[in-house]
Amino acid sequence: MRDLSRSHLKTFVSVLALLPVLGLSASSDRARAAAPATGHGDAKSCAAMAYRTIAPGTVVTSAGYYPQGTSVGSIKVDVPFCRVIGVATPTDDSHIGFEVWLPPAGAWNGDFQAEGSGGSAGAISPAPMLTALKRGFATMSTDNGHLNDPKDPLGGSGQEWAFKHPQKMIDWGWRALHLSTIAAKAAIRGFYGKVAGKNYFVACSAGGHHALMEASRFPADYDGMVAGAAPWQWTRQMLGETWNGIPALKDATAITRESAALLNKAVIAACDKLDGVEDGVIADPRRCTFDPGTLACTASGKPGECLTPVQVDAARHIYAGVTRSDGTRLFPGQARGSEFGWPSALMRPAPGGSSIVFWSLSVFQDRNFNNVNFDFDRDTDRALATKVAGMSLEDVYDSKPDLAAFKARGGKLVLFQGWSDFQITPLVDIAYYEAMAARYGQAATDKFLRFFLLPGMGHCSGGPGFSHIGGATGAPIKDDADHDMVRGMEAWVTRNKAPAQFIAAHIDTGGQVTATRPVCMYPKQALYKGSGDPKDAASFVCAAPPAM
Protein backbone atom coordinates (compact mmCIF):
# COMPACT_ATOMS: atom_id res chain seq x y z
CA MET A 1 0.00 0.00 0.00
CA ARG A 2 2.80 2.40 0.83
CA ASP A 3 4.31 2.89 -2.63
CA LEU A 4 1.45 2.18 -5.00
CA SER A 5 1.76 3.78 -8.44
CA ARG A 6 -1.26 5.44 -9.98
CA SER A 7 -2.00 2.41 -12.17
CA HIS A 8 -1.65 -0.02 -9.25
CA LEU A 9 -3.82 2.20 -7.07
CA LYS A 10 -6.57 2.24 -9.70
CA THR A 11 -6.43 -1.58 -9.87
CA PHE A 12 -6.55 -1.79 -6.08
CA VAL A 13 -9.57 0.51 -5.91
CA SER A 14 -11.35 -1.50 -8.61
CA VAL A 15 -10.88 -4.68 -6.57
CA LEU A 16 -12.14 -2.94 -3.44
CA ALA A 17 -15.22 -1.80 -5.32
CA LEU A 18 -16.14 -5.46 -5.95
CA LEU A 19 -16.13 -6.39 -2.26
CA PRO A 20 -19.76 -5.37 -1.56
CA VAL A 21 -20.89 -7.32 -4.63
CA LEU A 22 -19.12 -10.40 -3.26
CA GLY A 23 -20.77 -9.96 0.11
CA LEU A 24 -17.56 -8.71 1.73
CA SER A 25 -16.85 -5.45 3.50
CA ALA A 26 -13.90 -3.50 4.85
CA SER A 27 -16.04 -2.64 7.91
CA SER A 28 -16.13 -5.02 10.85
CA ASP A 29 -19.17 -7.08 11.88
CA ARG A 30 -19.09 -5.13 15.14
CA ALA A 31 -19.37 -1.88 13.22
CA ARG A 32 -22.33 -3.16 11.19
CA ALA A 33 -24.08 -4.34 14.33
CA ALA A 34 -23.81 -0.85 15.81
CA ALA A 35 -25.34 0.85 12.77
CA PRO A 36 -28.09 3.40 13.47
CA ALA A 37 -31.02 4.20 11.19
CA THR A 38 -30.10 5.29 7.66
CA GLY A 39 -29.93 8.84 6.34
CA HIS A 40 -27.32 11.60 6.35
CA GLY A 41 -24.76 11.34 9.12
CA ASP A 42 -25.37 7.66 9.84
CA ALA A 43 -23.94 4.22 9.11
CA LYS A 44 -25.38 4.02 5.61
CA SER A 45 -23.95 7.35 4.48
CA CYS A 46 -20.66 6.37 6.11
CA ALA A 47 -20.39 3.05 4.29
CA ALA A 48 -21.40 4.72 1.01
CA MET A 49 -18.11 6.65 0.95
CA ALA A 50 -15.93 3.54 0.87
CA TYR A 51 -13.82 3.08 -2.29
CA ARG A 52 -14.96 6.42 -3.73
CA THR A 53 -12.76 9.03 -5.37
CA ILE A 54 -13.63 12.11 -3.32
CA ALA A 55 -11.14 14.55 -4.89
CA PRO A 56 -8.66 14.40 -7.78
CA GLY A 57 -6.16 11.65 -7.00
CA THR A 58 -7.80 11.00 -3.62
CA VAL A 59 -9.54 7.72 -2.78
CA VAL A 60 -11.35 6.47 0.32
CA THR A 61 -9.89 3.04 0.99
CA SER A 62 -12.27 2.18 3.84
CA ALA A 63 -15.19 3.70 5.69
CA GLY A 64 -16.99 2.12 8.61
CA TYR A 65 -19.31 3.17 11.43
CA TYR A 66 -17.91 2.23 14.83
CA PRO A 67 -19.61 2.01 18.21
CA GLN A 68 -18.60 3.55 21.50
CA GLY A 69 -15.53 1.83 22.94
CA THR A 70 -13.68 1.14 19.66
CA SER A 71 -9.89 1.07 20.06
CA VAL A 72 -7.71 2.88 17.53
CA GLY A 73 -4.15 1.92 18.37
CA SER A 74 -3.80 2.59 22.09
CA ILE A 75 -6.68 5.07 22.11
CA LYS A 76 -10.16 3.94 23.15
CA VAL A 77 -12.79 6.06 21.41
CA ASP A 78 -15.64 6.36 23.89
CA VAL A 79 -18.16 7.87 21.46
CA PRO A 80 -19.58 6.40 18.21
CA PHE A 81 -18.12 7.70 14.96
CA CYS A 82 -17.68 7.16 11.24
CA ARG A 83 -14.03 6.40 10.48
CA VAL A 84 -12.94 7.30 6.96
CA ILE A 85 -9.46 6.22 5.83
CA GLY A 86 -8.02 7.37 2.52
CA VAL A 87 -4.99 8.16 0.43
CA ALA A 88 -4.03 11.02 -1.89
CA THR A 89 -1.52 10.49 -4.68
CA PRO A 90 -0.72 13.85 -6.33
CA THR A 91 2.40 12.33 -7.90
CA ASP A 92 3.56 8.82 -8.76
CA ASP A 93 5.88 8.94 -5.74
CA SER A 94 3.26 10.26 -3.30
CA HIS A 95 1.25 8.32 -0.78
CA ILE A 96 -0.51 10.71 1.59
CA GLY A 97 -2.55 8.86 4.17
CA PHE A 98 -5.31 10.53 6.17
CA GLU A 99 -8.16 9.68 8.52
CA VAL A 100 -11.38 11.60 9.04
CA TRP A 101 -13.49 10.90 12.12
CA LEU A 102 -17.11 12.00 11.93
CA PRO A 103 -19.59 12.06 14.82
CA PRO A 104 -23.15 10.99 13.96
CA ALA A 105 -25.39 13.75 12.68
CA GLY A 106 -27.11 14.30 16.02
CA ALA A 107 -23.77 14.82 17.80
CA TRP A 108 -22.05 16.99 15.18
CA ASN A 109 -21.51 20.61 16.17
CA GLY A 110 -21.45 21.63 12.51
CA ASP A 111 -17.73 22.46 12.35
CA PHE A 112 -14.43 20.83 11.32
CA GLN A 113 -11.17 20.76 13.30
CA ALA A 114 -8.00 19.22 11.87
CA GLU A 115 -5.03 18.15 13.97
CA GLY A 116 -1.30 18.51 13.33
CA SER A 117 1.67 16.37 14.33
CA GLY A 118 5.23 16.88 15.55
CA GLY A 119 8.78 16.35 14.31
CA SER A 120 9.19 14.78 10.88
CA ALA A 121 6.57 12.29 11.92
CA GLY A 122 4.61 10.13 9.53
CA ALA A 123 1.67 8.94 11.61
CA ILE A 124 -1.98 9.64 12.29
CA SER A 125 -2.59 11.44 15.62
CA PRO A 126 -5.60 9.75 17.25
CA ALA A 127 -5.35 11.37 20.72
CA PRO A 128 -6.07 14.96 19.62
CA MET A 129 -8.62 13.63 17.14
CA LEU A 130 -10.49 12.03 20.03
CA THR A 131 -10.49 15.32 21.95
CA ALA A 132 -12.02 17.10 18.95
CA LEU A 133 -14.49 14.27 18.29
CA LYS A 134 -15.79 14.34 21.86
CA ARG A 135 -16.48 18.05 21.46
CA GLY A 136 -18.61 17.30 18.41
CA PHE A 137 -16.16 18.23 15.68
CA ALA A 138 -15.57 16.37 12.45
CA THR A 139 -11.82 15.91 12.66
CA MET A 140 -8.87 14.87 10.48
CA SER A 141 -5.23 13.87 10.79
CA THR A 142 -2.68 13.11 8.08
CA ASP A 143 0.53 11.09 8.04
CA ASN A 144 2.21 13.92 6.10
CA GLY A 145 2.95 11.67 3.14
CA HIS A 146 4.96 8.87 4.75
CA LEU A 147 4.84 6.30 7.52
CA ASN A 148 7.28 6.04 10.41
CA ASP A 149 9.51 3.00 10.14
CA PRO A 150 9.03 1.05 13.40
CA LYS A 151 12.61 -0.25 13.04
CA ASP A 152 14.09 3.23 12.74
CA PRO A 153 15.83 4.07 16.06
CA LEU A 154 15.20 7.76 15.36
CA GLY A 155 11.42 7.22 15.10
CA GLY A 156 9.67 10.44 14.11
CA SER A 157 13.03 12.14 13.50
CA GLY A 158 14.07 9.61 10.83
CA GLN A 159 14.36 10.72 7.23
CA GLU A 160 14.74 7.45 5.32
CA TRP A 161 11.46 8.20 3.57
CA ALA A 162 13.03 11.32 1.99
CA PHE A 163 16.14 9.68 0.56
CA LYS A 164 15.79 9.81 -3.24
CA HIS A 165 12.12 10.85 -2.87
CA PRO A 166 11.86 14.60 -3.57
CA GLN A 167 8.08 14.48 -4.02
CA LYS A 168 7.69 13.05 -0.53
CA MET A 169 9.73 15.99 0.78
CA ILE A 170 7.27 18.38 -0.87
CA ASP A 171 4.36 16.34 0.51
CA TRP A 172 5.74 16.71 4.04
CA GLY A 173 6.58 20.37 3.57
CA TRP A 174 3.08 21.57 2.66
CA ARG A 175 1.18 19.45 0.16
CA ALA A 176 0.00 16.62 2.44
CA LEU A 177 -1.92 18.81 4.86
CA HIS A 178 -3.57 20.81 2.09
CA LEU A 179 -4.73 17.75 0.15
CA SER A 180 -5.84 15.98 3.33
CA THR A 181 -7.85 19.09 4.22
CA ILE A 182 -9.57 19.01 0.84
CA ALA A 183 -10.29 15.30 1.34
CA ALA A 184 -11.70 15.87 4.84
CA LYS A 185 -14.06 18.55 3.59
CA ALA A 186 -15.26 16.21 0.84
CA ALA A 187 -15.83 13.45 3.40
CA ILE A 188 -17.82 15.84 5.60
CA ARG A 189 -19.98 16.84 2.65
CA GLY A 190 -20.49 13.18 1.69
CA PHE A 191 -21.41 12.07 5.19
CA TYR A 192 -23.61 14.94 6.35
CA GLY A 193 -24.86 16.19 2.99
CA LYS A 194 -23.50 19.68 3.72
CA VAL A 195 -20.24 21.49 4.36
CA ALA A 196 -18.86 22.47 7.75
CA GLY A 197 -19.79 25.89 9.05
CA LYS A 198 -16.27 26.75 10.23
CA ASN A 199 -12.91 25.09 9.66
CA TYR A 200 -10.19 25.06 12.31
CA PHE A 201 -6.65 23.70 12.68
CA VAL A 202 -4.87 23.02 15.98
CA ALA A 203 -1.24 21.94 16.27
CA CYS A 204 2.16 22.47 17.88
CA SER A 205 5.82 22.06 16.86
CA ALA A 206 6.05 20.80 13.25
CA GLY A 207 2.26 21.02 13.23
CA GLY A 208 2.62 24.71 14.10
CA HIS A 209 4.96 25.01 11.14
CA HIS A 210 2.35 23.37 8.93
CA ALA A 211 -0.29 25.79 10.23
CA LEU A 212 1.76 28.77 9.06
CA MET A 213 2.44 27.05 5.73
CA GLU A 214 -1.31 26.60 5.27
CA ALA A 215 -2.14 30.17 6.26
CA SER A 216 0.38 31.62 3.81
CA ARG A 217 -0.06 29.16 0.90
CA PHE A 218 -3.73 28.13 1.19
CA PRO A 219 -5.46 30.92 3.12
CA ALA A 220 -8.96 29.65 2.31
CA ASP A 221 -8.44 26.23 3.95
CA TYR A 222 -9.11 27.33 7.52
CA ASP A 223 -11.03 30.08 9.29
CA GLY A 224 -9.12 29.84 12.55
CA MET A 225 -5.87 28.27 13.72
CA VAL A 226 -4.05 27.58 16.96
CA ALA A 227 -0.34 27.11 16.24
CA GLY A 228 2.31 26.48 18.88
CA ALA A 229 6.12 26.46 18.88
CA ALA A 230 6.04 27.04 15.14
CA PRO A 231 9.42 26.61 13.41
CA TRP A 232 8.30 28.63 10.42
CA GLN A 233 11.83 28.67 8.97
CA TRP A 234 12.20 24.88 9.03
CA THR A 235 15.48 24.95 7.11
CA ARG A 236 17.07 27.29 9.64
CA GLN A 237 15.46 25.36 12.49
CA MET A 238 17.47 22.39 11.27
CA LEU A 239 20.60 24.59 11.29
CA GLY A 240 19.78 25.45 14.90
CA GLU A 241 19.25 21.85 15.96
CA THR A 242 22.49 20.83 14.28
CA TRP A 243 24.38 23.68 15.98
CA ASN A 244 22.97 22.71 19.38
CA GLY A 245 23.79 19.04 18.87
CA ILE A 246 27.41 19.43 17.81
CA PRO A 247 28.89 19.79 21.35
CA ALA A 248 27.48 16.39 22.36
CA LEU A 249 28.47 14.86 19.01
CA LYS A 250 32.06 15.93 19.64
CA ASP A 251 32.14 15.03 23.33
CA ALA A 252 29.53 12.95 25.14
CA THR A 253 30.32 14.77 28.41
CA ALA A 254 29.37 18.20 26.97
CA ILE A 255 25.78 17.82 28.18
CA THR A 256 24.78 15.45 30.94
CA ARG A 257 21.68 15.26 33.08
CA GLU A 258 23.72 16.45 36.04
CA SER A 259 25.33 19.40 34.25
CA ALA A 260 22.00 20.52 32.72
CA ALA A 261 20.25 20.37 36.12
CA LEU A 262 23.08 22.29 37.81
CA LEU A 263 23.04 24.96 35.11
CA ASN A 264 19.26 25.30 35.15
CA LYS A 265 19.20 25.70 38.94
CA ALA A 266 21.83 28.45 38.77
CA VAL A 267 20.06 30.28 35.94
CA ILE A 268 16.75 30.28 37.81
CA ALA A 269 18.43 31.47 41.01
CA ALA A 270 20.10 34.34 39.16
CA CYS A 271 17.13 35.52 37.09
CA ASP A 272 13.94 34.44 38.85
CA LYS A 273 13.43 37.73 40.70
CA LEU A 274 13.90 39.95 37.65
CA ASP A 275 10.11 40.13 37.22
CA GLY A 276 9.53 41.19 40.83
CA VAL A 277 8.30 37.86 42.17
CA GLU A 278 10.20 34.74 43.24
CA ASP A 279 8.33 31.74 41.85
CA GLY A 280 10.93 29.53 40.19
CA VAL A 281 10.06 30.90 36.73
CA ILE A 282 11.82 33.43 34.50
CA ALA A 283 9.12 35.67 33.07
CA ASP A 284 11.26 36.98 30.18
CA PRO A 285 14.57 35.18 29.58
CA ARG A 286 15.77 37.99 27.33
CA ARG A 287 16.49 39.93 30.53
CA CYS A 288 18.67 37.12 31.89
CA THR A 289 22.39 37.38 31.12
CA PHE A 290 23.68 34.60 33.37
CA ASP A 291 27.09 33.33 32.21
CA PRO A 292 27.71 29.58 32.68
CA GLY A 293 31.37 30.43 33.29
CA THR A 294 30.42 31.34 36.87
CA LEU A 295 29.96 27.59 37.45
CA ALA A 296 33.34 26.62 35.98
CA CYS A 297 35.23 24.04 37.99
CA THR A 298 38.25 25.18 39.98
CA ALA A 299 40.99 23.06 41.50
CA SER A 300 38.76 22.40 44.51
CA GLY A 301 35.61 21.81 42.50
CA LYS A 302 33.76 18.54 43.02
CA PRO A 303 32.25 16.52 40.15
CA GLY A 304 28.56 17.35 39.77
CA GLU A 305 28.93 20.65 41.61
CA CYS A 306 30.58 22.60 38.81
CA LEU A 307 30.86 22.66 35.01
CA THR A 308 33.86 21.37 33.13
CA PRO A 309 35.40 23.61 30.44
CA VAL A 310 33.67 21.50 27.79
CA GLN A 311 30.30 21.99 29.51
CA VAL A 312 30.78 25.74 29.90
CA ASP A 313 31.65 26.06 26.21
CA ALA A 314 28.65 23.90 25.23
CA ALA A 315 26.23 26.10 27.19
CA ARG A 316 27.66 29.31 25.76
CA HIS A 317 27.49 27.77 22.28
CA ILE A 318 23.80 26.84 22.68
CA TYR A 319 22.81 30.24 24.06
CA ALA A 320 24.69 32.07 21.30
CA GLY A 321 22.78 30.62 18.32
CA VAL A 322 23.97 29.74 14.84
CA THR A 323 26.63 32.03 13.39
CA ARG A 324 28.88 32.04 10.38
CA SER A 325 32.61 32.38 10.83
CA ASP A 326 32.31 36.14 10.23
CA GLY A 327 29.80 36.47 13.08
CA THR A 328 26.67 36.71 10.91
CA ARG A 329 23.71 35.32 12.84
CA LEU A 330 21.77 32.60 11.02
CA PHE A 331 19.42 31.48 13.81
CA PRO A 332 18.85 32.56 17.42
CA GLY A 333 20.01 30.53 20.40
CA GLN A 334 18.09 28.79 23.15
CA ALA A 335 16.60 30.85 25.95
CA ARG A 336 18.03 30.73 29.44
CA GLY A 337 15.74 28.63 31.59
CA SER A 338 15.38 25.88 28.97
CA GLU A 339 18.33 23.80 30.25
CA PHE A 340 16.13 21.26 32.07
CA GLY A 341 15.14 19.87 28.66
CA TRP A 342 18.56 19.80 27.03
CA PRO A 343 19.30 16.17 27.93
CA SER A 344 16.23 14.85 26.10
CA ALA A 345 16.91 17.02 23.05
CA LEU A 346 20.68 17.10 22.83
CA MET A 347 22.23 14.03 24.48
CA ARG A 348 23.13 10.91 22.57
CA PRO A 349 22.02 8.82 20.72
CA ALA A 350 20.58 11.64 18.57
CA PRO A 351 21.91 15.10 19.47
CA GLY A 352 20.20 17.48 17.10
CA GLY A 353 16.68 16.05 17.04
CA SER A 354 15.04 16.20 13.62
CA SER A 355 18.25 17.47 12.04
CA ILE A 356 20.32 14.40 12.88
CA VAL A 357 19.77 12.91 9.41
CA PHE A 358 18.02 15.83 7.71
CA TRP A 359 21.15 16.94 5.86
CA SER A 360 22.41 13.48 4.93
CA LEU A 361 19.15 11.87 3.79
CA SER A 362 16.91 14.79 2.80
CA VAL A 363 19.14 17.64 1.62
CA PHE A 364 22.54 16.37 0.54
CA GLN A 365 21.31 12.84 -0.26
CA ASP A 366 24.62 11.52 1.07
CA ARG A 367 24.48 8.74 3.64
CA ASN A 368 28.08 9.41 4.61
CA PHE A 369 27.47 13.01 5.70
CA ASN A 370 27.84 13.45 9.47
CA ASN A 371 26.44 16.45 11.33
CA VAL A 372 29.58 16.72 13.43
CA ASN A 373 31.35 17.93 10.29
CA PHE A 374 28.72 20.53 9.35
CA ASP A 375 30.39 23.74 8.17
CA PHE A 376 28.07 26.67 8.88
CA ASP A 377 29.60 28.67 6.04
CA ARG A 378 30.04 26.19 3.22
CA ASP A 379 27.33 23.65 4.08
CA THR A 380 24.74 26.34 4.82
CA ASP A 381 25.30 27.84 1.38
CA ARG A 382 25.22 24.39 -0.21
CA ALA A 383 21.93 23.57 1.57
CA LEU A 384 20.26 26.83 0.61
CA ALA A 385 21.29 26.26 -3.02
CA THR A 386 19.81 22.74 -3.07
CA LYS A 387 16.89 22.12 -5.42
CA VAL A 388 14.05 19.73 -4.64
CA ALA A 389 12.12 18.80 -7.78
CA GLY A 390 13.04 22.20 -9.19
CA MET A 391 12.11 24.12 -6.02
CA SER A 392 14.49 25.72 -3.56
CA LEU A 393 14.87 24.05 -0.19
CA GLU A 394 13.26 27.08 1.47
CA ASP A 395 10.28 26.97 -0.93
CA VAL A 396 9.67 23.38 0.13
CA TYR A 397 10.14 23.75 3.88
CA ASP A 398 9.79 27.39 4.95
CA SER A 399 6.75 29.56 5.54
CA LYS A 400 6.92 33.14 4.34
CA PRO A 401 5.91 35.82 6.89
CA ASP A 402 3.11 37.04 4.65
CA LEU A 403 -0.48 36.40 5.69
CA ALA A 404 -2.12 39.11 3.59
CA ALA A 405 -4.64 36.78 1.94
CA PHE A 406 -5.44 34.97 5.20
CA LYS A 407 -5.93 38.34 6.89
CA ALA A 408 -8.07 39.68 4.01
CA ARG A 409 -10.55 36.80 4.19
CA GLY A 410 -11.00 37.20 7.94
CA GLY A 411 -8.80 34.34 9.15
CA LYS A 412 -7.76 34.28 12.82
CA LEU A 413 -4.50 32.89 14.20
CA VAL A 414 -3.59 32.24 17.83
CA LEU A 415 0.16 31.67 18.09
CA PHE A 416 1.68 30.37 21.34
CA GLN A 417 5.09 29.35 22.63
CA GLY A 418 6.78 28.30 25.87
CA TRP A 419 9.49 30.62 27.15
CA SER A 420 11.47 27.54 28.29
CA ASP A 421 11.13 25.55 25.07
CA PHE A 422 14.28 23.45 24.75
CA GLN A 423 13.74 22.37 21.14
CA ILE A 424 12.41 25.42 19.31
CA THR A 425 13.71 28.68 20.67
CA PRO A 426 10.88 31.13 21.44
CA LEU A 427 12.93 33.84 19.76
CA VAL A 428 11.91 32.52 16.33
CA ASP A 429 8.19 32.93 16.99
CA ILE A 430 8.83 36.36 18.45
CA ALA A 431 10.61 37.23 15.20
CA TYR A 432 7.63 35.95 13.20
CA TYR A 433 5.14 37.98 15.19
CA GLU A 434 7.26 41.13 15.01
CA ALA A 435 7.60 40.68 11.24
CA MET A 436 3.79 40.59 11.01
CA ALA A 437 3.42 43.70 13.17
CA ALA A 438 6.03 45.54 11.10
CA ARG A 439 4.35 44.52 7.85
CA TYR A 440 0.73 45.30 8.74
CA GLY A 441 0.98 47.63 11.73
CA GLN A 442 0.14 46.71 15.31
CA ALA A 443 -3.58 47.55 15.17
CA ALA A 444 -4.16 45.61 11.95
CA THR A 445 -2.11 42.66 13.20
CA ASP A 446 -4.14 42.47 16.41
CA LYS A 447 -7.27 41.96 14.31
CA PHE A 448 -6.09 38.61 12.92
CA LEU A 449 -3.02 37.44 14.90
CA ARG A 450 -2.41 37.20 18.65
CA PHE A 451 0.70 35.75 20.25
CA PHE A 452 1.00 34.28 23.75
CA LEU A 453 4.24 33.34 25.55
CA LEU A 454 3.93 30.99 28.52
CA PRO A 455 6.60 31.54 31.22
CA GLY A 456 8.41 28.36 32.18
CA MET A 457 6.61 26.10 29.69
CA GLY A 458 8.77 23.64 27.77
CA HIS A 459 8.22 22.31 24.27
CA CYS A 460 4.47 22.61 23.63
CA SER A 461 3.71 21.63 27.25
CA GLY A 462 5.27 20.75 30.60
CA GLY A 463 8.17 22.45 32.32
CA PRO A 464 8.43 24.22 35.68
CA GLY A 465 6.12 27.08 34.73
CA PHE A 466 2.60 27.63 33.44
CA SER A 467 0.68 25.74 30.77
CA HIS A 468 -2.69 23.94 30.55
CA ILE A 469 -4.49 26.38 28.26
CA GLY A 470 -5.80 23.71 25.88
CA GLY A 471 -4.43 22.17 22.70
CA ALA A 472 -1.03 20.54 23.14
CA THR A 473 -0.38 22.45 26.39
CA GLY A 474 -2.75 20.26 28.42
CA ALA A 475 -6.37 20.40 29.50
CA PRO A 476 -7.36 23.79 30.91
CA ILE A 477 -8.61 24.11 34.48
CA LYS A 478 -11.90 25.54 33.15
CA ASP A 479 -13.60 24.71 29.87
CA ASP A 480 -14.17 28.23 28.55
CA ALA A 481 -12.66 30.86 26.27
CA ASP A 482 -10.83 32.53 29.17
CA HIS A 483 -8.85 29.38 29.99
CA ASP A 484 -8.75 27.39 26.73
CA MET A 485 -7.08 28.99 23.72
CA VAL A 486 -8.90 26.64 21.32
CA ARG A 487 -12.23 27.87 22.63
CA GLY A 488 -10.81 31.38 22.59
CA MET A 489 -9.95 31.01 18.92
CA GLU A 490 -13.46 29.74 18.19
CA ALA A 491 -14.99 32.71 20.02
CA TRP A 492 -12.80 35.02 17.95
CA VAL A 493 -13.91 33.43 14.68
CA THR A 494 -17.61 33.13 15.47
CA ARG A 495 -18.28 36.12 17.75
CA ASN A 496 -15.33 38.40 17.00
CA LYS A 497 -14.35 38.18 20.68
CA ALA A 498 -10.57 38.45 20.39
CA PRO A 499 -8.52 36.90 23.22
CA ALA A 500 -6.37 39.26 25.27
CA GLN A 501 -5.21 36.77 27.89
CA PHE A 502 -5.68 33.19 29.11
CA ILE A 503 -5.44 31.86 32.64
CA ALA A 504 -2.71 29.22 32.72
CA ALA A 505 -1.86 26.84 35.53
CA HIS A 506 0.96 24.85 37.01
CA ILE A 507 -0.23 21.35 37.85
CA ASP A 508 1.93 19.01 39.94
CA THR A 509 2.58 15.33 39.30
CA GLY A 510 -0.41 14.47 41.45
CA GLY A 511 -2.75 16.48 39.25
CA GLN A 512 -3.20 19.32 41.72
CA VAL A 513 -3.24 22.97 40.63
CA THR A 514 -0.45 24.67 42.58
CA ALA A 515 -0.57 28.12 40.95
CA THR A 516 -2.34 30.12 38.23
CA ARG A 517 -1.05 33.00 36.12
CA PRO A 518 -2.37 35.18 33.29
CA VAL A 519 -0.75 34.55 29.93
CA CYS A 520 -0.85 37.87 28.13
CA MET A 521 -1.05 38.89 24.51
CA TYR A 522 2.48 39.77 23.39
CA PRO A 523 4.20 42.16 23.95
CA LYS A 524 2.40 42.53 27.29
CA GLN A 525 3.47 40.43 30.25
CA ALA A 526 1.90 39.36 33.53
CA LEU A 527 3.23 41.83 36.12
CA TYR A 528 2.82 41.29 39.84
CA LYS A 529 0.63 43.97 41.43
CA GLY A 530 2.87 44.11 44.47
CA SER A 531 0.41 42.49 46.83
CA GLY A 532 -1.68 39.35 46.98
CA ASP A 533 -0.83 35.69 46.65
CA PRO A 534 1.81 35.29 43.88
CA LYS A 535 0.34 31.86 43.17
CA ASP A 536 -3.00 33.43 42.23
CA ALA A 537 -3.60 34.88 38.76
CA ALA A 538 -5.66 37.66 40.33
CA SER A 539 -2.45 39.11 41.79
CA PHE A 540 -1.14 39.92 38.31
CA VAL A 541 -2.08 42.34 35.57
CA CYS A 542 -1.26 42.23 31.85
CA ALA A 543 0.76 45.32 31.03
CA ALA A 544 3.71 46.54 29.00
CA PRO A 545 6.93 45.38 30.67
CA PRO A 546 9.65 47.86 31.70
CA ALA A 547 12.08 48.73 28.92
CA MET A 548 15.07 46.42 28.68
How confident is the model over 445-472, as pLDDT tens digits?
999 999 999 999 999 999 999 999 999 9
- Give the Cα separation of 355 and 379 in Å (integer): 14
11 pLDDT higher than 80: no
179 pLDDT band, cuts 50/70/90, is very high
- 129-138, 298-307, 330-339, 522-531: which range is least confident on average? 298-307
pLDDT for 340 equals 96
3-state secondary structure of 450: strand
- 81-90, 298-307, 347-356, 411-420: which range is least confident on average? 298-307
Helical H runs in 193-256? Answer: 206-217, 234-250
β-bridge pairing 449-454 and 412-418 = parallel
Arithmetic mean of pLDDT over the chain: 91
13 pLDDT higher than 60: no
β-bridge pairing 112-115 and 138-142 = parallel
Domain locations along the chain = 6-152+176-197, 236-394, 404-543
The closest of 174, 184, 109, 105 to 140, measured between CA atoms, is 184
What are 492-515's pLDDT values in tens digits? 999 999 999 999 999 999 999 999
Residue 208 makes CB contacts below 8 A (sequence gap 6+) with 116, 227, 228, 229, 230, 231, 415
What are 51-75's pLDDT values in tens digits? 999 999 999 999 999 988 888 888 9
Reported as half-sphere exposure (CB side, CA atoms, 13 A), residue 205 has a value of 20
Which residue type is seen at 498?
A: A
Cis omega (within 30 of 0) on the bond before 523? yes
pLDDT for 153 equals 62
pLDDT for 8 equals 40
Q: Distance between alpha carbon 163 and the CA centroid of its chain, in Å?
A: 23
38 pLDDT higher than 70: no
- Give the Cα separation of 114 and 142 in Å (integer): 9
pLDDT for 5 equals 40
Residues 123/147, Cβ–Cβ less than 8 Å: yes
pLDDT for 21 equals 30
Q: When comparing pLDDT for 106 and 157, which is higher?
A: 106
pLDDT for 548 equals 79
Q: When comparing pLDDT for 504 and 26, which is higher?
A: 504
205 pLDDT higher than 90: yes
pLDDT for 14 equals 37
pLDDT for 546 equals 86
What are 229-260's pLDDT values in tens digits? 999 999 999 999 999 999 999 999 999 999 99
408 pLDDT higher than 80: yes
- Cα distances (Å, whole numbers) of residue 284 to 419, 458, 542: 7, 14, 14
16 pLDDT higher than 70: no
92 pLDDT band, cuts 50/70/90, is very high
DSSP 107: G
Please provide the size of the chain in residues.
Answer: 548
Residues 426/331, Cβ–Cβ less than 8 Å: no
Work out whether the CA dihedral 267, 269, 272, 276 comes out positive or negative: negative
17 pLDDT band, cuts 50/70/90, is very low
Residue 127 makes CB contacts below 8 A (sequence gap 6+) with 75
394 pLDDT higher than 70: yes
Task: Give the end-to-end CA distance of the chain in Å, rounded to a whole number.
Answer: 57
484 pLDDT higher than 80: yes
Q: Is the pTM of this model over 0.85?
A: yes
pLDDT for 70 equals 87
Helical H runs in 162-233? Answer: 166-170, 176-192, 206-217
The closest of 477, 469, 472 to 460, measured between CA atoms, is 472
